[in-house]
Amino acid sequence: MRDDLDLDVYKILLEKRLAEITAGREAQQREGAPVELDQTKVGRLSRMDAMQQQAMAQASARRTEVELQRIRTAISRLRSGDYGYCVRCDEKIAQKRLTIDPATLICIDCARAAEGKTHA
């Protein structure tokens, strides 16, 4: 358990973000609905535009699911007393980093190491 952090502040931030995302999911689900392919009702360009919008909405929904999982994991770690420690190296995550992204699960050093591996 981190004594140097006000865990209630992070809990409030995480729960607020979770509520915001959950509220916005309804709109995403509507935008990701199947595209009508009846050529008598919709022109070719309109269908292409609708399909592109659908693909973008689906990609956004996938990113939202990842963020929701990160938030739920962070809330779970708050409850278990593991919040604020890197899941990779078990070192403390800097308070400034947690303030910027309360759902972060890794320290800056591990994030940089992972970034270096993806760009190599």
Question: Is 101 a member of any domain?
Answer: yes
What's the per-residue H, E or C state across 63-99? HHHHHHHHHHHHHHHHHHCCCCECCCCCCECCHHHHH
CATH assignment of the domain containing 47 = 1.20.120.910
Could you tell me the residue range of the domain that residue 34 belongs to?
7-119
CB burial string 11-37: b at 16+ within 10 A, e below: bebbeebbeeeeeeeeebeeebeebee
Provide the 3-class DSSP secondary structure of residue 55. Answer: helix
| pTM: predicted TM-score of the whole model, two decimal places | 0.73
Mean pLDDT, consecutive 10-residue segments, the chain of 120 residues?
Answer: 91 94 72 55 68 82 92 96 96 96 96 79
Question: Is 18 a member of any domain?
Answer: yes
pLDDT, residue 32, reads 52
Question: Is 33 a member of any domain?
Answer: yes
pLDDT, residue 111, reads 95
**Residue type (1 letter), 86:** C
Q: How many domains does the chain have?
A: 1
